[in-house]
Structures are given as C-alpha cells and as structure tokens.
Structure 1
C-alpha cells in the first residue's frame, strides 16, 4: 500500500553521511539509519577516533564495544523505493505540464497545483494529521511526518485546532460522486448509497439517515474521506509495528549473542575452576605424601632404637645365663681345692646396666603435623562453605524498562540548545 505523497519529505530519506537518498538503508542499535556502504566505510576508516577501540554512531556519538551486525531495514527500504517512485512521477508530470503550455508559461500563483493520481487531497491530509496528532501523547506529531504551518490554525492559547472539513458534496478523489456512490452498498432503510460516515455512532449512513432523529446533530463526514484517513492511520501504525518488530528482533539477536557469550564465559570459568581445584588437590596430595613419609621415617627411627635396646638386653641375658651356669657347676663340684680356687672369680657381680629408666614410647614426632593438618582442614572447610554460598547466590537480573516507542523516537532528535541572553524575553532570566 503506497504512502501519501504529502506525508513524505526528502530529508526523511537522506543519509547523513553521503547526503543522498538511502541506498540499502541499515539501522544502528541506537536507532539511526544510514546507507550500508556509508556506515561500513565510516567504521572501516576508524569511525570514533584513531585510538578508539569502539565504534560510534555518526549522529548521536553513542559508542559500541563490538562492531554491530548491520542488517538492511526492509521496511525503510520499501518506503524509500516508494518515495523515489513518487518523486520521479511528480517530476515527470511537472515536465509534461510545462511542455504542453507555452514556453514562457508560469503557474498561476493563486491556483493550487492539480492533484496527481493516487495523491491524497490536502483537506483530507490536514484532517488526518490533526486527528492522528490527537492520538499521540502530549499532542506530539508522528515522527517522520511533515509539520507545515499551513495545516493548522493557531489560537491565542496555542491550541491546534482542526480546520473545518469541506462539504462532502464537493469531495472527489477518484472520480465523480456518482462513480463513488455506484460502488457503495445501499442503506437497508432508505435504499440510498451509504456515502456518509457518522463519527458519533461509528457507522456508515446515507444522506437521508442524517435527517432522522437517530443521527440528528451528529458529526457526519464523507465515507470515502473517513476511509482514506483511517487507511493512512493504519499505514502509520503498520510502520510503527514494523519498527517495534525490528527493535525486538534486534533485541532477540542481542540476547542470543549474550547467551552465547555467557556460555563461553561459563566454559572458561569451568575450565579455570577445574584447573584451580586440580592444583589444590595436587598440592594436598603432595603434602599428604610428605606427611606419610615423615610418619614412616619416625616409625623407622623408633623401631631402630627399640631394636638396639633389645640387642643389648639379649647380650646381657646371655652373659647372665652363662654366669649362672658356671656358678651351678661350681656349686656341684666335690673338689674343695678347685672350689676355693675358682670361687673368687666366679662369685664376682656381673657388669650390667640399669634398665629401670629405659622404655620405648609409642608416641611419634608426627603429632604436631597432624594437629596442623586438622587446623588447615577446618579453615579450608570454612572457605569451601563460603564458596558454595557464592555459587548458589542468584545473579542479579536488571528489570526490563517499559519505554514509550514514540517518546524514544522523539528523543533521537534531541539537541542541546544554548539560549542567547541578548535576544531572550525581558522576563526570562538566563543563568550563565
């Protein structure tokens, strides 16, 4: 469905880089549109500064850490193509009109230009813009639609008033009233064409219905006129819906990219965590082997000391048994002379140690080591519990703000204005 020519302006379809009509328009994440080749060349040349690591929008200077993936805005491309066709058809009709007239012929300044086929009459466009403006919040006009001053009347209170609609009997957009009425359905009561529309009851009526008590005093306009106004509103709404769809598709793609980045980050964190725990386990195992080795060395030392004492005791036991056997033989001897001769040497006390203070203890030197290990395990368990609490803590999620798309569009054209004190109103006080 083609847009009305009066709603289109060349400035709306001009790339701010090449200052030409859009060619394969693309939109940046901040909402501005450029030619695909222009914005790519701008970023390839280092858009955003030679030392900058981010990419900037040439319009609002918003920076992007990664180079955005640009896709052709199909809706804007279709509207641009329609604008080019309307512009070319308008130039062709104007040139043909000059050729048919005299060489020096000029259009009469008081006569309006004849409407081209498919254009919306100015009166309908005036009324449509005024009604569509009332649909927007705070009386804000639709972004992208022209705002000619001749379309509205200014009052002393700065209220925009809808100009009075022309009589419906003089309206003719596609042909004569007879041609229009012939294609309309008939009123079931008066059997006349339903060529009027009652805005109060939101129903199509005929000329006879307006005289009845049911519709007397209601706001009645031509049905064809109301159809074109509502049709244009549907087109505007369709463009807005396509923009909303495009914004949400870009947001879906952004979220999907974020999910991929989150998965990559999770994989890297998992690898780092496994590596850190592997190092911790390896360190604990190494410490364990050292502790076990120390316990074994302590055991070997204790056994060596015990074996040395056992050897000395066995030697003394053997010597004492030998001494006891010798004394037994001496006591059994019958020869008095031999007994008395051997008695002094055999009856002398043996050379032995005092073993009453000697003992082998079962306590090893690894006791302090085990106490230190137990203390370390207690601290490690505390840190592990804190780590588990951090892992189970949910990550914060930012709430999605509910933004007004029309306000967002208007904010794209926001500018910083510096007021001049010399030209300001005397009652206005402008601070420096």
Structure 2
C-alpha cells in the first residue's frame, strides 16, 4: 500500500509520467504503449529502453490490465487528495480537465505540478536536483530573458532583479543581494505602509460617514424648519384669507341692502304704472264717446289723486368708499397679532444639544478594568462603590475607583450621557488608553484624563490638582459628554437644560479614547447611588 501511495512504480521511464495504457516487454519492464511504440519506431533493432535486451522480432504490445487498473486506482486516490484549482489559484500544467491545484513550480522545467505530477521530481534522480518553489503563474517571467536562468538576485544599485549571469557580466560593480534578503528587508516596510494605508482608508471612510451624517442632519434640520415655517406662513395666509372673505362679505351685504330697497321701490312704481295705464285706457274710451251724460258720469278726477310723489325719492346708498382701507387696517392688526404668535412659536428655545446628540453611542462598562470594589450591573450600564471585593486583581484593572467602557474611539465624534442624580460625589469624562491605571491622584488632563468632578455641591474641572471650581446655577442630574476627536474638543453639558458646563479645547489626541466613570466612595451610604449610562433620546 505504501508503494501505491508513493506512485514510484507507476512512472514510465520514457516520459517520466504516470503510465497511459501500460504495456510490458518480454523482459518484464513496463512503459506507456505510445512511448514504447514511438521509441521502437525511431530505433532499430528493437531493444528494451531500460535493460537494453535485444528483440529480433518486434514484440506485440498488449495492455497490462492489472497494472492499468492499479494506475487508475492511484490516479483516483491522488485526485481525491488533491483539490481542483479555483479562480486565482495556480493550476497544474500537466492535468487534463479538471485541472488540479498545483503544489510546486519548477524553475528548471518552468512548469507547475499537482501532487501526482510532482512525483517524478521527488523520486527520479535526474529531476531531484531541480529547484522547486511555491506555485506561481507565468513561470517564464521568473527567468532572465537574456540568459534563460532564474532571477535569483536583486541589484540595489538600479533596483532590478538579476540572474547569476547578469550579476557576473553586467552588474559587477553593483551591490546585489539574494531576493529573499531584499524581500525580508522590504516586507516590514511594506507592512507598515499597508497599515498606514488601511488607517488612512479607515479615516476616510469615517469622514465619508461623517459627511453623510452631516448631510442627513442638514436635511432633517431643513425639514424641521420648513415644517415650522410653513405652519407660520399658513397661519398668516389663513388670516389674510379670512380678512379677504370678510371684506367681500361686507361689500355684498351692503349691496344686498341697497338692492332690497330698490326692489321695494320698483314694485311700487310698477304698480302705479299699471294703474296709470288702466286710467289712460279708460280715458281714451271716454274721449271717443259723444254721449255727454256718460262722459261726465265717468270722467275721472283731474289730475289723478292717490299717487306718490317720486321726485324726492332716492336710494340710500351705503358708503362703499373706504371699505377696502378699513379691511386692510383690520388685516394689519390681525396680522400683527398672528405674526407675534407665530414668531413666538418659531423662536421658542430649541434643544441646544440637538447637533451633539446626533452622535450618540451605545456604551457598556468593561468589568476587566473596574476597581476591585466597584459593583457593575448585569446590563453593564450602572456602577457604584461597595465594601465587598467584587473582582480579582489584573494588569488592566484600576487601583482608583474607575471603570472604562468596552468601546473606544480614535477618530470622529461621539456623545454619551450619564445620570448622576442622587450622588454627592462623582467623576466622569474620557481617558487615553495608556493612562497609568495603578497610580492614584491623576484624574486631570496632564495625565490623560479629560473630566469633571462633583464634590459637596460644587462642580470642578479635573478632579485632582489643578482643579478649577465652576459657577453653575444648579447641580446637574444628568451629564452629556461630547467629543470631537479630530478637533481636540471635549465638552460637558447639563443634559436636562442643554447648558454647557465646560469645554476642553485644543486637545491633542494621538491614541484611543475611552469614556470612564468614577462613582467615588459610598461614604457610609450617603453616596451609594450608581452612575448610570443612559440612552440618549435623539
């Protein structure tokens, strides 16, 4: 079985490859049928290529079925152990489809070989001396086009790859080293360049996110202001429309009043006209009569009586002039009132923390950094001091009452809020990754802490010397912390009133920043309330 796995006995001594249709000579040696036939076709008389035994009559070649089956089995086993080459991988130059993944490339043969086709280079004495290397494509590119030798040297004078002949004939006065030596020297520099490139890519991607976030913030601000402005303009427009409708309605009512008067007078006039026309008809009939008695008996009184004197009758016209002016005056007063109300609405104080809160991050406390007597809640959002030992010592753990968050930041902006309600002492802010966690009394910007602290009703910039007291109208119940890493800014706010407490400006950050909390001692229960990382309402 070991022989089957090695495959040495399945190699044709003519083509140095696995047998194809293996045949046996009368002397007992095996060859590929095609290889042996071509050998005898070009040589006479017929001899065994291995032992040189002479055959006076050319033997009839028949396939050795047992050996053929064993070769087929070996190919199957070798194929199952080998992988079919994938896109981007070097494939064997001697495999028929599917091509297997190459294990080695030969600088002498300028070919790449899979496991089975590599066997001759591992077993045949004439091939063992060939230089093998990890599989690569385009083997011709690794040979000197002038001397047809492998490129093994690197000339540091003109920065080119050489073969040994190039070094002896054309680069005698130059400084050249083996490719591996130059590779080992350049690789760390390239790795550093790659890291720098990745860092710059990361920075630019973060900048893209920042710009996109700024655009989104701008759009949301536009939408909010547009909504507010449209409501104000709609209120003003509605006020104008109401005044317009009242103006038109007043004119129409005045006109209807005159129209009603006119209709009543017209009705009387029409009625009197009818009566006068009737009398005129009767008078005309009497005028045609010659009967003196009849004429005098029916002759009406002259002139006609009971009729209205219309000479002084006039319509009482409403004073239309000035109606528009009066309407506009009323509109002006209404607009002033509406304008004042809408100005109050659009000018009402907005949340001054709105921009910073857009950069809110979700933080959790890192128990691996917490002081041994700090108690951290299961959700990793709350911390307070306890008299019981909660953790064992470790290199990352603070000796002071501090705990870092798991999250760190090395660029961009971030914002978080901490509830300090019910506490009489506390410290919070951000710290550099390299702060001395075993040293006590260093909570100030000189030692890599940008923080504020609260003690006995007063808020201080820094908590250890030099600390500066701040004059605040009220003690904050919730503190917001905003950091702009690239601008070197750390600002603290009263999250409830959005008032700025203090800002560190012009900071020079060169490493990761971690938010940190220090609940201070519980002082017999008077300061037992926890510091709480709270969710930010955007």
Normalising TM by the smaller chain, what interval?
Answer: 0.3 to 0.5
More helix by share: 1
Q: TM-score, normalised by structure 2?
A: 0.27
* Higher RCO (Cα < 8 Å, 6 or more apart): 1
